[in-house]
Amino acid sequence: MRLRGVTEDDLPIFFEHQRDPVANRMAAFPPRERDAFMTHWGSILRDASVIVRTIELDGDVAGNVVLFGFEGRREVGYWIGREFWGRGVATRALSAFMQEVEERPIYAGVAETNVASIRVLEKCGFTAMETSDEEHAGEVLLRLG
């Protein structure tokens, strides 16, 4: 597994990953249509405050990991193609990314039903925070640092 800069060639693969209905249910995140997806990723790649990497496994694009600003804090997110699930890719990629990114604290918001993602974050040192915010019902907010 290695992290590298995102290229335009990665975007169609990311697009297909985020269309997976099983992943959508797990992440509690709806897929974007192609134009909306490409517009969204164009803004990510143009934003100097965003740090984003492609995750490669054995030369294949396995997903991405990104650090971005959200609601006044810095959050990390990642998306792994389902064909790469169960191989420790998310944990290894997030761990490597957190070693690359020195700023702290970093947060992650995860659907409370996404037990696998919560476990990945915990393995990488994130801890769950108490939230009483109605707006974030159904979500676990985790913090590193």
pLDDT digits (tens, 9 = 90+) for 76-126: 999 999 999 999 999 999 999 999 999 999 999 999 999 999 999 999 999
pLDDT over 70 (residue 134): no
At 132 the pLDDT is 63
Give tens-digit pLDDT for 9-42.
999 999 999 999 999 999 988 999 999 999 999 9
Contact 90, 117 (CB under 8 A): yes
The CA angle 55-52-81, to the nearest 5 degrees, is: 35
For residues 34 and 90, give the distance between their C-alpha atoms in angstroms, rounded to a whole number. Answer: 24
For 2-144, CATH number? Answer: 3.40.630.30
Position 75 scores a pLDDT of: 97
Region 45-51: mean pLDDT is 97
Domain-wise residue ranges, the chain: 2-144
pLDDT band at 138 (very low <50, low <70, confident <90, very high): confident
CA–CA dist 144, 134 (Å, integer) = 23
* Amino acid at position 108, single letter: A
CB atoms within 10 A of CB 98: 20
